[in-house]
């Protein structure tokens, strides 16, 4: 999915510290008045997305909860080794009660 097609309430989790993503969730839910936020991640950053969702849930004292979690994989061709590579993906939907 291109960033151009990405909805405003979607946060791509990568190499930044977890706290940056938890702050982004709070900005989306509080300042932008979104009802839900989707954390998307793949590869080695899946753990960061999971930790962010748990941190936000714990700090909000149950006011923000995960309602839908999708896992999967994407494939792409490694041009250097000329073979297909599979990478795990995750989408976590967080909803404010």
Tens-digit pLDDT profile for residues 34-93? 899 999 999 999 999 999 999 999 999 989 999 999 999 999 898 898 999 999 999 999
Taking the C-alpha atoms of 73, 47, 70 and 1 in order, what is their torsion angle to the nearest 10 degrees?
-60
Sheet hosting strand 64-78, strand order edge to edge: 10-12, 36-42, 83-96, 64-78
pLDDT at 7: 83
Task: Report the candidate in 55, 78, 79 with the shortest Cα–Cα distance to residue 65.
Answer: 55
User: Does the domain formed by 10-96 have CATH 3.30.300.20?
Assistant: no
Tens-digit pLDDT profile for residues 1-44? 555 677 889 999 999 999 999 999 999 999 888 899 999 999 99
pLDDT at 33: 86
Number of H helices, E strands in the chain: 2, 4
In angstroms, what CA-CA distances link 60 with 8, 12, 23, 71, 96?
22, 21, 12, 24, 9
Domain map (residue ranges) of the chain: 10-96
pLDDT at 4: 62
Taking the C-alpha atoms of 41, 47, 52 and 57 in order, what is their torsion angle to the nearest 10 degrees?
110
């Amino acid at each position: 999915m291109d960033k151009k097609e990405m909805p405003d309430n979607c946060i791509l989790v990568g190499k930044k510290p977890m706290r940056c993503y938890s702050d982004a969730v709070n900005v989306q839910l509080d300042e932008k008045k979104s009802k839900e936020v989707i954390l998307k991640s793949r590869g080695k950053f899946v753990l960061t997305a999971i930790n962010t969702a748990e941190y936000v849930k714990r700090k909000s004292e149950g006011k923000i909860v995960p309602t839908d979690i999708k896992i999967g994989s994407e494939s792409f061709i490694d041009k250097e080794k000329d073979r297909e590579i599979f990478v795990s993906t995750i989408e976590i939907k967080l909803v404010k009660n």
